[in-house]
Amino acid sequence: MTITLTVNREERIFSGDPRTPLVDVLRDHLRMTGTKAVCREGFCGACMVHVDGAPMASCLLPVGSLDGAAVNTIEGVATREHLNAVQQAFEDHDVVQCGMCFPGMVMTMSRFFQTNTSPDRDEIKAAMTGNICRCTGYERIIDALMSIRTNEATP
Amino acid sequence: MQDNADAAVMNFPRRDARDKLLGRTKYTIDVGGSEVIHAVLLRAEVASAQVLRLDVEAARSMPGVRAIATWEDAPGAHGIGIADHPIFARDVIRYHGEPIAAIAADTLEQAHAAARAITLELAPLPAILTMAQALEKDAPLVHPDWKDYDILFEGAARGGNVAWEATVARGDTDAAFDRPDVTIIDGVYRVGRQSHVPFEPRAVVAAFEDGRHHIQTSTQVPWTVRHVTARVLNIPESQVRVTVPAVGGGFGLKFDCSLEPYAAILAKKSGRVVSLVNSRREEQMTCLCRENAEIRIRSAVTADGEIVGREATVLMDCGAYGGEQVFLTTMTAHTLGGNYRLGSVRLSSRAIYTNTPPNGAFRACNGVYNTFALERHTDEICDAIGMDRMEFRRRNVVGDQDIGATGQVFEGDVLRPMIDRMQALCAKHPNSRKNGQRLDDGRIYGRAMTVGTWFIFVGPSAATVNLNVDGSATLVTSGVEIGSGSMMHALPQIVAAGLGIAPEQVIVKTADTDAAGRDLGVGGGRTTVSIGAASAAACDEVRDKLLAVASEMLQTAPDQLVLADGRVEIRGRPGSGTTIQKVVAEAETRTGPISGSGAFTAPGIEAMPGCAAGHFIDAIDIPVFAVHDCELAIDPDTGQVEILAYRVVQDVGRALNHRAIHGQIQGGVVQGMGYALHEEITINEQGCFDQTGFEAYRLPLAQDVVPIEFDLFEGAPSCGPLGTKGAGEVPILNVGATIGCAIANATGKQVSQLPLTPPRVLALLDGRDEPLALDHISAVWSDNTLRR
Ligand code: FES
Ligand code: FES
């Protein structure tokens, strides 16, 4: 079976086992290793990608279900010269530690801020529940995200 | 040096953030591609058995298989203190998950298929799954041949299932306990195992190049990997090169050599580049956890709160092999004996063999649970003699010239003023809530403040600094960046301050054992201190060479020259000098390029002779202190505990990067909250862990946490560069203690165990909680030693 999908606006063809999780197609076949497979159970959020615009855990998605889908990964959200607002806030507040959770965190929260322009702290925390971080203890990440909100709220 | 110190203090941002945020950073798990083949381990699925037959012939001819390794390929045994650990089971399986064979094939699936084709015949043996079983009279021995093992460090008592025993005896505790004017307080405590769950599992990529092993690995200890790999392969250490890409979290789990030798053997046999990565399930099920422990503390205390005698026994489960627990027996002397003044003391700290997966090092190691036990015990003392908890601590914490358990003399008053600072921090948020009070929503309020003592693990480090013609400097050490940021923050800041250049101008090379000198590794809060001190010393040499040349160029004595902003200036005359680039260019024509090397090792603080036996270090070179305060609420219907506020006063020596330390405090305290409230590995009748993944092993989530308030205590004595102490390890130290004490205060019940899961808290509240009994630890201290 051949599956055609768009990854970061480029058409890609996959002709292996359709049960292969998307995360393995990205990492092993396309060698795009920014998406991390940490728990493979849908709990940690490190493997988050956007499928047709919606954040999803790529460890739980058999590639066979994605024929014709548009997938965006961490490699596709920004360039080194122009980070997106979430990435920029994380860099400015110097909140990154080991970094393994951040690709997933960026994918979840970038999408969240597209639809929530001025969330409060609790709403941000609720949005982050599906993204686990073992290093940081979260609060400084939330501080960084709160700064995006403030920036947008003050034109 | 003072100018230097001030120049080193800044919120310098980490340089690896951007690539990490873009998904471009290549961790060891990300190394791959068509030239890399894949390995798996065949692991035991029983806890204890005799190996009757191991046959890999059928597997060898399976599709895609490139190499198979078994015990025949790794003759040596390794260990800390005792060489008790072969990397493959040979005749005996000692734990569930123990490697039996390693297979490399073109694909992971092929490697797994070949593993399934290996024939293994076993005869079951009795399994020792608890320390109580291990210490029973006539218990089967996990290592019947324990007497024949190579001893790597002399002086400990060993015997039967006691892998290692460290004891402390100072003063006459018998006389103290016999005094008519003392109250005797006797407490027992127990904690479970904690799993690190680094987001990058242990992983390695090995190659055999020009007759040498090249190991790229996710480790905290490149030189340990080099040493252990050579030891088990029985080859010279010089034949092993270790390099370390970005490491996706360690927390102590990667402080041991683990997967590396298997990959090295397979790479040599196959002639290919071999990747070996623990699946999440393997990573969980063979995690070198913070060990489960059982503790008994007895104290003889006078009515005015003087601790005239203390006796304690700590049983640490090392699992099937001694590992880090052998070393960590040493730390009981300082974590149970380095907080409070003790008139006399006897301690027995024992690593016990069981047929369970080996344990390891985890951020502040046994300090975390010894502090829990000691602070609970301290509150029990206060209740027994009717003294206010803070008053008791204020009177008894060690201060300037007080002696620790092993007779080491402490310098400076640190803990007492830190308690004052904590009270000032708390006073910013006054509230009239009382322990046990019902809040408006019906929940029960609890609060506690605790103290803790830990140490900076020092030991040898080496550094080289090359001053480049463009005025930048390259720092070459064996440091690795595990996520904590020491390599990104403190080290470039120290070098920049030492050379008068911007930290952006300091290139920090990550570990390559072919390029940098030996180092004990990243852990124990030692990077800033040990590697930092070696780096500062290397800068001193560079500075001397630079100033010697500049002195001639500027016709000014070297002591009248200063380095700042990338220039050499005549003191007091800004703009009078020249640029570093010009001096380096001049030096090249005279003597050649400028570089310097520096080294550091433990200064070696003295203990009282004869106090300590079986200890790897008798005194701690850099003690670190912490004071924590926690307010919480308990839901009486569910047993759920919510942290309302958490405060930390931490002894940091000097804070080089406030923002980075904040990140470590927030992250470390949250790991401690997990430990205190819900993280626990349990072991079933098969000797295998129940928590095999993220679903069963619950980690703290964003909604579980609060912003940690903190105050950094600066100025305590430290031999670290610019007066620093490591700040990354210690934030977790007294979290279990503080939450445990707060829950005891809220409920008015005896809290003796961690974690305090909702069912356990409900049982406490309902009075259904059986009092903890540890019958295998005698009230007669000497019965808990081999030297009796
Ligand atoms: S790897 Fe997909 S959610 Fe954890
Ligand atoms: S930064 Fe390490 S897991 Fe989040």
pLDDT tens, residue by residue, B455-464? 998 889 999 9
Radius of gyration of chain A (CA): 16
CATH fold of the domain at B31-125+202-277: Aldehyde Oxidoreductase; domain 3 (3.90.1170)
Residue B561 confidence (pLDDT) above 80: yes
> Quick one: A67 and A91 in the same domain?
no
Distant-in-sequence, close-in-space partners of B476: CB < 8 Å, separation ≥ 6: B463, B464, B465, B466, B509, B515, B516
Concatenate the DSSP letters of all residues of B335-403 into one string: HTTSSB--SSEEEEEEEEE-SS------TTHHHHHHHHHHHHHHHHHHHHHT--HHHHHHHHB--TT-B
> Quick one: A70 and A92 in the same domain?
no
Helix/strand/coil (H, E, C) string of B287-352? CCCECCEEEEEEEEEECCCCEEEEEEEEEEEEECCCHHHHHHHHHHHHHCCCCECCCCEEEEEEEE
> Quick one: A69 and A19 in the same domain?
yes
Q: Give span(s): CATH 3.30.365.10, chain B.
A: 2-9+459-600, 293-457+607-782
> Which backbone phi and psi does B81 adopt, to 5 degrees?
85, -45
> Quick one: A96 and A144 in the same domain?
yes
What is the domain-level CATH number for residue A100?
Answer: 1.10.150.120
**CA-angle at B277, arms to B273 and B278, nearest 5°:** 155
Q: Which domain holds residue A125?
A: 85-149
Quote the pLDDT of residue B566.
96
Chain A residues with CB-CB distance to B14 below 8 A: 94, 96
Confirm whether A136 is domain-assigned: yes
Quote the pLDDT of residue A153.
44
Domain spanning B293-457+607-782, CATH class: alpha beta
Quote the pLDDT of residue B603.
82
Confidence band for B3, pLDDT divided at 50, 70 and 90: low
Residue B76 confidence (pLDDT) above 90: no
Mean pLDDT along residues B592-617 = 92
Confidence band for B543, pLDDT divided at 50, 70 and 90: very high
Confirm whether A95 is domain-assigned: yes
CB B284 within 8 A of CB B693: yes
Quote the pLDDT of residue B602.
84
Chain A residue with the nearest C-alpha to that of B246: A98
Confirm whether A49 is domain-assigned: yes
> Which backbone phi and psi does B174 adopt, to 5 degrees?
-60, -45
Determine, for residues A39 and B694 on separate chains, whether the beta-carbon distance falls below 8 Å: yes
Cα B462 to averaged position of ligand 1 atoms, centre (Å): 39
CB B36 within 8 A of CB B274: yes
pLDDT tens, residue by residue, B28-62? 999 999 899 999 999 999 999 999 999 999 999 99
Q: What is the mean pLDDT of chain B?
A: 96
* Ligand with smallest separation from the Cα of A101: 2
3-state class of B237 per DSSP?
helix
Domains of chain A: total: 2
Determine, for residues B662 and A140 on separate chains, whether the beta-carbon distance falls below 8 Å: yes
Task: Sort strands B49-55 and B240-243 into parallel, antiparallel or unpaired.
Answer: unpaired
Confirm whether A154 is domain-assigned: no
Q: In 3D, which of B758, B722, B726 has the Cα closest to residue B660? A: B726
In this predicted complex, what is the ipTM? 0.97
- CATH code, B2-9+459-600: 3.30.365.10
> Quick one: A8 and A66 in the same domain?
yes
Confirm whether A62 is domain-assigned: yes
> Among residues 268-297 of chain B, which lie with CB inside 8 Å of chain A?
280
Residue type (1 letter), B401: Q
pLDDT tens, residue by residue, B565-576? 999 999 999 889
Mutate to test the interface with B, among A71, A134, A140 (most CBs of B within 10 A): A134
What is the domain-level CATH number for residue A20?
Answer: 3.10.20.30
- Which pTM value belongs to this model? 0.97
Does B24 touch chain A if contact means CB atoms closer than 8 Å?
yes
Residue B512 confidence (pLDDT) above 90: yes
Quote the pLDDT of residue A123.
97
Please give the biggest Cα pair distance in chain B.
84
Q: In 3D, which of B300, B298, B297, B361 has the Cα closest to residue B329? A: B361
> Quick one: A89 and A116 in the same domain?
yes
Confirm whether A50 is domain-assigned: yes
Flag the least confident range among B148-162, B310-324, B484-498, B598-612: B598-612
Please report how the helices B735-747 and B365-385 are oriented relative to each other, as an axis angle in degrees rounded to 10. Answer: 30
> Quick one: A12 and A65 in the same domain?
yes
What are B10's two structure tokens? Answer: 């800044």
Radius of gyration of chain B (CA): 27
Quote the pLDDT of residue A117.
87
> Quick one: A100 and A72 in the same domain?
no
CB B247 within 8 A of CB A99: no
Report in angstroms the alpha-carbon separations of B137 from A153, B66, B160, B318, B353. Answer: 71, 48, 10, 19, 14
Mean pLDDT along residues B698-716 = 97
Whole-angstrom distance, CA of residue B157 vs CA of residue B366: 20
Mean pLDDT along residues B65-90 = 96
Chain B residues with CB-CB distance to A23 below 8 A: none
> Quick one: A118 and A66 in the same domain?
no
> Quick one: A94 and A134 in the same domain?
yes
CB A112 within 8 A of CB A45: no
3-state class of B600 per DSSP?
strand
Low-confidence ranges of chain A (pLDDT < 50): 153-155
Residue B788 confidence (pLDDT) above 80: no
Q: Considering only CA atoms, which residue is closest to atom 2 of ligand 2?
A: A98
pLDDT tens, residue by residue, B217-235? 999 999 999 999 999 999 9
Quote the pLDDT of residue B604.
84
